Chain A
Amino acid sequence: MGRLSEVSLGLKDQNKKAFVAYVVAGDPHPDMTVQLMHRLVKSGVNIIELGVPFTDPEAEGPVIQAAHERALAHQVNLEAVLTMVARFRSEDAKTPVVLMGYLNPIERMGYKSFSQRAGDAGVDGLITVNLPPEEAGDLTEHLQTHGIDPIYLLAPTTNVERAQRICQASKGFVYYVSLKGTTGSGSLDVNAVQQKVNSLRDYAPLPLYVGFGIRDGETAGPIAAIADGVVVGSAIVALLADAEEQGSETVIQDVVNLTAEIRAALDASVS
């Protein structure tokens, strides 16, 4: 079993909620990313989702788009992201790292070469936003050869037949996108999420995490009560956007305060 499944199944066995935190690699500055990852772990994050900067992040809202642009301004490409993961991994052998990005940089590197280099760097999972399982071709095979779990998204609009296929194709955890919309948009309807999550349980033996629209302890708590974990992105990234004005230590401290609050809400949801 890979590092990701070990953690996701381990948390579930212990009746603990998983906290997945998303940041864009290289945002706000490439020098900060590895340090930020360690601080996230210390403040209660279980899994790190690292955004791979792309010129056309079509599923992202304004907050995360801006983060992609900040990272790209520092020439952070896929290769640079893998170097950051390797540096993080040299000091943290336990925390799973999942890359989240768009297909083109991966395709350009080559499925085989990417899988090998990402595996060597210590990447544990991959979410490719614009790659539905039916187009995945031999990427899945290459990923698995190098111990990387493919993770696919489920949406409110996903029908039963597709949901089954997606759950089968996913490893590590299943990621339910709780909103119709881009990252960071709208407010989520807990009842609707609950209904969908309950129906997904029938064919999702894997831990089921919910993301999009969770921004603090207050929004994390009710979702944690129905799902196995939460993914928080835009709320963290929005704090990092102020780094230039406020200094990197200040914004990292802001992030740590937020993640600690969310951790507490997750723990409270099971006590």
Chain B
Amino acid sequence: MTRTQLGINESLTSFPDSAGHFGAFGGRFVSETLMGALDELTEAYDSLKADPAFLAELASDFEHYVGRSSPLYFAERLTERAGGAKIWLKREDLNHTGAHKINNCIGQALLARHMGKPRIIAETGAGQHGVASATVAARFGLKCTVYMGSEDIQRQSLNVYRMKLLGAEVVPVTSGSKTLKDALNEAMRDWVTNVDDTHYIIGTVAGPHPYPMIVRDFQSIIGREARQQFAERQGGLPDAVVACVGGGSNAMGIFYPFLEDSSVRLIGVEAGGDGVDSGRHAAPLNDGVVGVLHGNRTYLMQDPSGLIAETHSVSAGLDYPGVGPEHAWLKDIERAEYVAVSDDEALQAFRELNLLEGILPALESSHALAYATRLASEMASTQHIVVNLSGRGDKDIPTMAKIDGISIG
């Protein structure tokens, strides 16, 4: 059903409601112990988001610490190769620490400081959010513990060491599937126990209200910049905006400022793994069922008895059975489209961007690139696609080398 059929009169940017609902999605599904902390966080955020001093602090760190704004780069040779619409890359890979994750972490570390919490915790899959959290902890003099699935620790050893260099404690999580979702469970358990002195920095637009809203707001700097940069460089609006979707924070960040621009197609790309038909993937918006996990109602990969299914993706950062509730809602009201790209297609796009543009993309971002290149070939050369290049791929070099059978010990 479309927005008019659903009778949505308010601006799409005015969601969630005060209880954190995006239509039927989102909300706050947590154990009672955390309800007070979530109220406190909501209150603190509501007052700070309108506070000029806080916003100035945030803007200053975005500029001088993260290195914003990130460039909007016209990818000429990739465009030629695709043979259709012009492809622009929003270069979040050039941020300090190499991904969009830092935008959210800076914002939330400032929040933690204002709330007087001396310790932060985080979950991480690919390690990018863990690194960004450890980084801001060092920057603001906070203690930091990062939870990471023991499977992912194997896959992303470089980032693990990096977090330790930054002074963070990295705790391996050996329960369940030993990946991102289990790291999130463990971080929640830590938070329940240490709620008085600890702020939990969730790394994506998931979790209980107010997290999906807070993370989106901090990440929406991506879309605000891209919208303005495109207008200045090219004039008008792009025809499509494409981003990969794990939990959905880089996608929500670039989509949000375009939500009311109905001429702009918003396309989220999920991890298709071995292919959506194979069942071995991490594409809940393509092949999931609505349910409740990690504090919110959204589309989930689950079995018929409601147990959460194990997921698969070559990219650890997309290997998650859920997705942010705002995406679930944007799918249902048909404001955004969600597609999936397989491991193989993503790997090909990864190689292609290296060869054609001299840019090493993260495997996560390579999913968006793969779809955007395909889409461009079906569009006219007068049209424009903006791709969120959410991170750089240094962390993925060991994975790629292994696939290529090369030892880089």
Min C-beta distance of B29 to chain A, whole Å: 5
Contacts A56-B308, A58-B188, A134-B19 known; A158 to B31 CB distance under 8 Å?
no
Which of A178-186, A237-245, A250-258 forms contacts with chain B?
A178-186
Residues of A within 8 A of B184 (CB): 58
Mark interface residues in A80-101 (1 if CB within 8 Å of B CB, else 0).
0000000000000000000000
Residues of B within 8 A of A102 (CB): 292
Candidates A62, A72, A108, A159; contact of B36 at CB < 8 Å: A159
Q: Is the CB of B31 within 8 A of A129?
A: yes
Interface residues on A, range: 35 or more
Decide yes or no whether B189 CB sits under 8 A from chain A. Answer: yes
Q: Is the CB of A77 within 8 A of B305?
A: yes
Which of A23-31, A38-46, A147-155 forms contacts with chain B?
A147-155
Residues of A within 8 A of B379 (CB): none
Decide yes or no whether A162 CB sits under 8 A from chain B. Answer: yes
Smallest CB gap from B175: residue in A: A65
Contacts A108-B289, A182-B192 known; A59 to B306 CB distance under 8 Å?
no
Decide yes or no whether B405 CB sits under 8 A from chain A. Answer: no
Interface size on B, residues (CB 8 A): 38
Q: Is the CB of B306 within 8 A of A108?
A: yes
Residues of B within 8 A of A157 (CB): 32-37, 195
Contacts A132-B35, A134-B19 known; A55 to B29 CB distance under 8 Å?
no
Q: CA separation between A58 and B193, bound complex, in Å?
A: 12
Q: Is the CB of A104 within 8 A of B291?
A: yes
Decide yes or no whether B196 CB sits under 8 A from chain A. Answer: yes
Which of B74-82, B294-302, B356-364 forms contacts with chain A?
B294-302
Candidates B192, B195, B307; contact of A55 at CB < 8 Å: B307
Min C-beta distance of A199 to chain B, whole Å: 15
Decide yes or no whether A135 CB sits under 8 A from chain B. Answer: yes
Residues of A within 8 A of B68 (CB): none
Decide yes or no whether B229 CB sits under 8 A from chain A. Answer: no
Q: CA separation between A185 and B292, bound complex, in Å?
A: 25
Smallest CB gap from A66: residue in B: B175
Residues of B within 8 A of A109 (CB): 305-306
Q: Is the CB of B28 within 8 A of A56?
A: no
Contacts A105-B307, A108-B302, A185-B193 known; A59 to B292 CB distance under 8 Å?
no
Min C-beta distance of A111 to chain B, whole Å: 12
Residues of A within 8 A of B36 (CB): 155, 157-159, 162
Give the A-B pair count, Cβ closer than 8 A: 121
Residues of B within 8 A of A155 (CB): 31-33, 35-36
Smallest CB gap from B300: residue in A: A104
Q: CA separation between A182 and B187, bound complex, in Å?
A: 11
Q: Is the CB of B32 within 8 A of A180?
A: no
Residue of A78, A105, A152, A157 ringed by the most chain B CB atoms within 10 A: A157
Q: CA separation between A157 and B302, bound complex, in Å?
A: 32
Q: Is the CB of A166 within 8 A of B189?
A: no
Min C-beta distance of B183 to chain A, whole Å: 11
Decide yes or no whether B27 CB sits under 8 A from chain A. Answer: yes
Residues of A within 8 A of B188 (CB): 58-59
Q: Is the CB of B307 within 8 A of A153?
A: no
Q: Is the CB of A106 within 8 A of B185?
A: no
Residues of A within 8 A of B300 (CB): 104
Q: CA separation between A159 and B38, bound complex, in Å?
A: 13
Residues of B within 8 A of A6 (CB): none
Q: CA separation between A107 and B400, bound complex, in Å?
A: 40
Q: Is the CB of A107 within 8 A of B31?
A: no
Q: Is the CB of B33 within 8 A of A180?
A: yes
Q: CA separation between A166 and B33, bound complex, in Å?
A: 13
Mark interface residues in B273-313 (1 if CB within 8 Å of A CB, else 0).
00000000000000001011111000010101111100000
Contacts A104-B300, A130-B295, A157-B36 known; A135 to B27 CB distance under 8 Å?
yes
Contacts A104-B292, A158-B35 known; A72 to B307 CB distance under 8 Å?
yes
Residues of B within 8 A of A131 (CB): 29
Contacts A69-B176, A104-B306 known; A61 to B189 CB distance under 8 Å?
yes
Contacts A78-B305, A104-B292, A106-B306 known; A132 to B192 CB distance under 8 Å?
no
Contacts A79-B305, A182-B189 known; A56 to B181 CB distance under 8 Å?
yes
Candidates B19, B28, B306; contact of A105 at CB < 8 Å: B306
The B191-231 residues at the A interface (CB cut-off 8 A) are 192-196
Decide yes or no whether A103 CB sits under 8 A from chain B. Answer: yes
Candidates A54, A104, A105, A177; contact of B32 at CB < 8 Å: A177
Q: Is the CB of A162 within 8 A of B35?
A: yes
Residues of B within 8 A of A10 (CB): none
Decide yes or no whether A205 CB sits under 8 A from chain B. Answer: no
Q: Is the CB of A154 within 8 A of B32?
A: yes
Decide yes or no whether A156 CB sits under 8 A from chain B. Answer: yes
Q: CA separation between A108 and B306, bound complex, in Å?
A: 5
Q: CA separation between A69 and B176, bound complex, in Å?
A: 7
Q: Is the CB of B193 within 8 A of A132?
A: no
Binding site for A on B (CB under 8 A): 19, 27-37, 175-176, 181-182, 184-185, 188-189, 192-196, 289, 291-295, 300, 302, 304-308
- Identify 9 residue pairs between A and B in the complex whose beta-carbon atoms are under 8 Å apart, listed by A's number: A54-B307, A56-B308, A59-B188, A79-B305, A104-B306, A108-B306, A109-B305, A157-B195, A177-B32
Binding site for B on A (CB under 8 A): 54-62, 65, 69, 72, 77-79, 102-109, 129-132, 134-135, 152-159, 162, 166, 177, 180-182, 185-186
Known: A58-B185, A105-B305, A105-B306. 7 other contacts (CB 8 A): A58-B188, A107-B292, A135-B28, A157-B34, A159-B36, A162-B36, A182-B193
